[in-house]
Amino acid sequence: MLDKKPLFLLLDGNALLHRAWHALPPLTTTDGRVVNAAYGFSMIMEKLLDQLKPEYVAVAWDLPGKTFRHEKFKQYKAQREKKEPELYAQIPMIQEIMEKYGIKNLSKEGFEADDVIATLSRKAEDHQVQTLIATGDADSFQLASELTHILVFIKGISETKTYDPAAVKERYGLTPEEFIDYKALRGDPSDNIPGIKGIGEKTAQELIQKFGNIKGIFKALKAGEIPEKFAKKLEGQEQLAEDSYELVKLVRDVPLDQVEFLDLKREEPNIESLKTIFRDLEFKSLLRKYEGAEAGEIVASAPKKVRKEIKSEDCLIAKNENEARELLQKLEKNKILSIVVQEGAKTLFEDAPLTYVAVSNGLECILVPLPKTGELEDICRALESAETIVIHDLKKSLHLLDRAGAKISDWLNLPWSDLMIAGYLLTSGERDHDLDQLGDRYAKLVVPKLPGGAVTKDERADISKIAATLPKIFEALKKELENDKLTKLFNETEMPLVPILFRMEKNGIELDADFLKELSEDFKKQLETLTKKIYKSADSEFNIQSPLQMAEVLFEKLKLPTKGLKKTKTGISTAAPELEKIFEEHEIVPLIMEFRELAKLQNTYIDALPQLLEKDGRVHTSFNQTVTSTGRLSSSDPNLQNIPTKTELGRKIRRAFVANHGKILLSADYSQIELRIMAIVAKDESWISAFKKGEDIHTHTASEVWGIPDSEVTKEQRSAAKAINFGILYGMGPRSLA
């Protein structure tokens, strides 16, 4: 972990642009401009600046046109499809926003953003400044050092992992310097770097671990020290390996004449300019942050009903357990209380502990820093007398309290009202149910951000205002719930579900790691067998994972038909839908498709799941109650809903999830709510009858489509019928249906 030396935050602009583009839906302004990537990028920057507080910041960008790598290898990145113009139109927006933040955008003709990053991180090391490189891929792992760490966005724009040299070594068994040789040997399909045919990840890793680097490997080859099965693949490939090495290695001396490192010191943001651009792009949540309105006050368009102005003196900090007990007793006779549970100064590197709990009756606030078990019991006792306890994100707060030593069974049965869930019920199509959004949308209130860590005198007033604001927001939400006839759903279904989900998350699910290890070995053997069959069928060895090499084998060497197949920049597509079209043309096609399925299952699940095990040997997913637009639950970190079930191979993976001795795993799902509604709206007598009889609706559809009895419907036919049923419901047209 980086220590408290000055920090240089260095962002890979293009990588984070693509992350934001794919993570967010196509947000548009009222005049039709697509701004989702710009919004996501700005949110990433806000988060990083708030949490890391770097002294130096810069964003590196690729420029249009070719680089020195294209001159060395004409096929470099040639396979990449041209991106949507709406994506690249957002780069100037983002660069302008960065300028308003006081952050420099840097690039150099003939070089990539990665080279600019490599050069700047070296300059930072020369000044003994720590660097955190925020990126979306592994290219920068070669830069990891004692002073330089790599922050990789793994999924979307929220899940990250930080790599120092030890973390790189743990993942690849190699040092950052050896990582360059590793990528050169195995190739990089994403950049179209060929590598050496037949040398995959494991082989490249073993060769480098034994012989050090590419030079050492080929020296050993000449000395006859390489095993025969590897030697054949390496024969005559030394120049290719060296060329690939030059493509992979990042340049650390890019001439950046226009800037010195000290020029990258973070400047004060131009607040007025930021407000102007956020207003123009309709970034409402970001605009509110910089508008300067006082938290808890009513804005001009709302009724002027303002409670007593809360000052820092109204936030009473308990200095010890006895004082906490005395102060909390003052709140015991209030019907409505609100509570703020704060985890403090959470960093991107580790979870922070529970920092404080604040309880308010709307006029004054009791703040208990670093609460001990006894103080948590006193807080719970004070809350028990209330008829309603208002909170935002109850489940997260329960986890924080549980980790802090609270007797959680007492907390689970309190009369909670969660603002986040209420907001979700009213606008399930919205992505953001944060406190500031709810305050603005329903109560016309501006809510400040919660401070983390030690609380200053000024921040005490903010905490008081937040705690006092929660009941105001709830009153507004309560009226909306009543108007939309959602009160019963909120009180009787959604709120009672929170403690259940909390317990499910805390308990986790046991994973049979030994079974997965055996399955991994089995899959490896199957992949090796398939590889040999594919090589024999092709009468040559090639990188099966490379679309470019595969296309050469299928369409140039084997002369398979290309009529009706989609084309990419580099030639005929070898994507799964295209291979399906030529499935019967040659024995190699089904072999390749089987290889791909096995490889995907192994990489995505079999080898990945054991890494997600906690110390208790269980996987602890998060069940999201306020994410899907349809009202369903979702699962994340990891997503257990994506565990495959459609094939026998997929179902094998599912067997790794096991119950404790004497227990069972219960799988529960909604009973086709949307389809039942559709049957009633469409007045489809056949469907209505099937539902009334308790028949499986997808099997029923399949029997009608194929004209066979329900008992003869196969799993594949039912799966196809299911796709038809839901596809029509969600807008599938006649062409897609055909």
* Helix ranges, 24-112 (H): 36-52, 68-72, 85-88, 90-101
pLDDT for res 321: 82
pLDDT for res 319: 78
> Distance between CA 621 and CA 458 in Å, rounded?
37
% of the chain at pLDDT higher than 90:
40
% of the chain at pLDDT higher than 70:
89
How confident is the model over 293-301, as a mean pLDDT? 31
How confident is the model over 215-231, as a mean pLDDT? 87
> Could you give the angle at which helices 588-601 and 513-538 cross, rounded to 10 degrees?
160
Instruction: Specify which residues 149 forms β-bridges with.
Output: 132
Strands 130-135 and 104-106, sheet pairing:
unpaired
pLDDT for res 457: 61
Q: DSSP 3-state helix, strand, coil percentages of the chain (rounded to 5)?
A: 50, 10, 35
pLDDT for res 336: 93
How confident is the model over 392-405, as a mean pLDDT? 93
Torsions phi, psi for 632 (to 5 deg): -80, 160
> Distance between CA 73 and CA 430 in Å, rounded?
46
Q: 354-381 pLDDT, tens per residue?
A: 678 889 887 788 888 878 888 899 999 9
> Distance between CA 147 and CA 132 in Å, rounded?
9
Output the six-digit token pair for 586.
Answer: 């040659």
pLDDT for res 446: 76
Q: E strands, 311-360, where?
A: 315-317, 336-342, 356-360
> Distance between CA 119 and CA 144 in Å, rounded?
13
Which range, of 378-382, 493-497, 726-730, averages the lowest pLDDT?
A: 726-730
737 pLDDT above the threshold of 70: no
82 pLDDT above the threshold of 70: no
pLDDT for res 636: 83
pLDDT for res 384: 93
Q: Count of residues for the chain?
A: 738
CATH architecture entry for 511-658: Up-down Bundle (1.20)
340 pLDDT above the threshold of 70: yes
pLDDT for res 439: 86
Output the six-digit token pair for 661.
Answer: 């001795």
Topology, domain 7-168+251-262: Rossmann fold (3.40.50)
Q: Which residue has the higher pLDDT, 440 or 312?
A: 440
First to last CA, the chain: 55
346 pLDDT above the threshold of 80: no
Where are the domains positioned within the chain?
A: 7-168+251-262, 313-507, 511-658, 673-737
pLDDT classification of 22: cutoffs 50, 70, 90: confident
C-alpha angle with apex 583: 580 to 586, nearest 5 degrees?
A: 150
What number of CA atoms fall less than 13 Å from residue 164's CA on the CB side?
Answer: 9
pLDDT for res 380: 94
Q: Return the residue matching tokens 């004082």.
A: 323
Output the six-digit token pair for 521.
Answer: 């070995």
> Distance between CA 249 and CA 184 in Å, rounded?
9
pLDDT classification of 398: cutoffs 50, 70, 90: very high
Which amino acid is located at 377 in the chain?
A: E
277 CB neighbour count, 10 Å cutoff? 20
Distances 201 to 85, 187, 209, 519 between C-alpha atoms, Å = 35, 9, 12, 19
pLDDT classification of 698: cutoffs 50, 70, 90: very high
Do 511-658 and 313-507 fall under one CATH topology? no
> Distance between CA 46 and CA 49 in Å, rounded?
5
CATH class of segment(s) 313-507: alpha beta
179 pLDDT above the threshold of 70: yes
> Distance between CA 58 and CA 129 in Å, rounded?
14
pLDDT for res 371: 83
